[in-house]
Amino acid sequence: MMGPKRGIDLMDFALIEFDVRIKTGEQEKDDLQLIDGATLLWTPGLWNQPYSIKIPGDYGAVDITVAHLNNAVEATVEVVISEVQSGFNLLLGCLTSDLNKEMRLFDGAIVESRFLKRSVVAVNWKSSIDLKFKVGASPSSFDQHCVSFKPKIHGHDTQEIKTDFALISVKVTWSTLLPTGLD
């Protein structure tokens, strides 16, 4: 027999690399490193449902919630805040793939036009990604605005939300590594 006599199969495994810091200064080098490293997750048979794990570090631990999704595509969420009339608080939550655990993509104050950091979310092919924007002058008085997107193999979708505080533009770019159509 010519060629290799062994194979590698990494079925149901996921490698997560992390670098979590506590913001203490203007520069990243000034921040306190909470945890740094990688972990290998193995969840045989645990598909399409969220579960939580604790990642210990030198200065504490971080609890994260993950899910192993079957037939999923990648959604890159980009949010632009423009035409800001006055400062406001914004909370951006995300529900995906019929999972009941909301992911927090942003929580903070907006005082001027800006781009929010991009987020990458896995979305089950037969589901959707639902983004909830809670907008208000104070954290106790939010108005909620929702936008939903259905997955595509490639391409992008956009929606806009006009509030009393600003214009919120949302772009979701779809990507997949699958060579054929999804079931």
- pLDDT digits over 154-166, tens only? 899 999 999 999 9
Separation CA 153–CA 74 (nearest Å): 9
Point out which residues pair with 110 in neighbouring strands.
88
pTM, two decimals, is 0.77
Give the closest residue to 31 by CA, choosing from 22, 40, 41. 22
Question: Residue 155 in 3-state DSSP?
Answer: strand
Interval 107-123: pLDDT, tens: 999 999 999 999 999 89
Q: Which amino acid is at 98?
A: D
Structure confidence at residue 166 (pLDDT): 96
Please name the residues in contact with 137: beta carbons below 8 A apart, sequence gap of 6 or more: 86, 88, 89, 165
More confident residue, 54 or 169: 169
Query: Hey, what CATH topology would domain 72-175 get?
Result: Immunoglobulin-like (2.60.40)
Interval 7-27: pLDDT, tens: 444 456 777 777 777 778 788
**Domain edges within the chain:** 13-66, 72-175
